[in-house]
Amino acid sequence: MKIPVFHVDAFSATAFAGNPAAVCLPPEPVSEQWMQAFAAEMALSETAFLTPEKDGYRLRWFTPRVEVQLCGHATLASAFVLWQTGREASDRDIHFYTLSGLLTAHRLHDWIELNFPACPLVTAQAPAGLLESLGVSDPVLISRDDNIYVVELGSEAEVQACQPDFARLAQVNLRSVGITAAGQPPAYDIVSRYFAPSVGVNEDPVTGSIHCRLAPYWAQKLGKNNLVARQASPRGGTLRLRLAQDRVFLAGQAVTVTSGLVEI
């Protein structure tokens, strides 16, 4: 069986920026073991696997180490590939059936808007070793959603200057952590970075799922439901966020870098 594979840079309008994802379109289901092995071989933060289901697609996401419940940039990349290759009509929303429920993608000219669940944060204490591994001594606020933490810092400069000790951070009792601060309007309202060494991703270039947490957090703090977000990783990326009750609409752009076939 030959499987089409696409390498896409998501949350960017140009190649070699944003967050790279692999998108695999097997014509029939493949084993979970093969998907995990292929994701490890690709060595990207996420590899997406799409198979037809109902009126859309079953969508699964794998890091080089584990399957995850929610991934924004690989969902954006998946929708982009389906529209770009003509597998889906440009005027039709795409339905994805995932571990996080039904997700949809809507085309807005050269942007793609994803409909994701909002994940409100609650104030929390820092797990042992977290602040030390980040090199942060004076956080504004620490919050969490389940085992994903968010640390607000005092300025964008602090976010950009952060140099985590990834080996130490991987030993902290959490899945991942985002750091964030207010941005510089009108260019962007908020800025962030995201680290997940325990699942094989030291720093994720641009992360849709953490913005499901940052959108309600900053919407309340800034008093606005429409936000422009900048993820300040070395590659960098921009997202448009819209909070609507219990949903976050994340919009971004994407570009295909390369494509080919893999045999199984």
Q: How do 188-196 and 176-184 pair as beta strands?
A: antiparallel
3-state secondary structure 187-232: CEEEEEEEEEHHHCEEECCCCHHHHHHHHHHHHHHHCCCEEEEEEC
CA 239 – CA 206 distance, rounded (Å)? 9
Q: Is residue 46 annotated as part of the catalytic site, yes or no?
A: yes
CA 257 – CA 8 distance, rounded (Å)? 6
- Chain position carrying tokens 């980040």: 134
CA 25 – CA 10 distance, rounded (Å)? 17
Strand-pairing partners, residue 191, are: 181, 230
Catalytic residue among 28, 32, 41, 46: 46
CB-based burial, 165-190: b 16+ in 10 Å, e otherwise: eeeebbebebebbbbbbbbeeeebbb
For 28, phi then psi, to 5°, come to: -145, 160
Q: How do 67-68 and 94-98 pair as beta strands?
A: unpaired
Question: Which are the catalytic amino acids?
Answer: 46
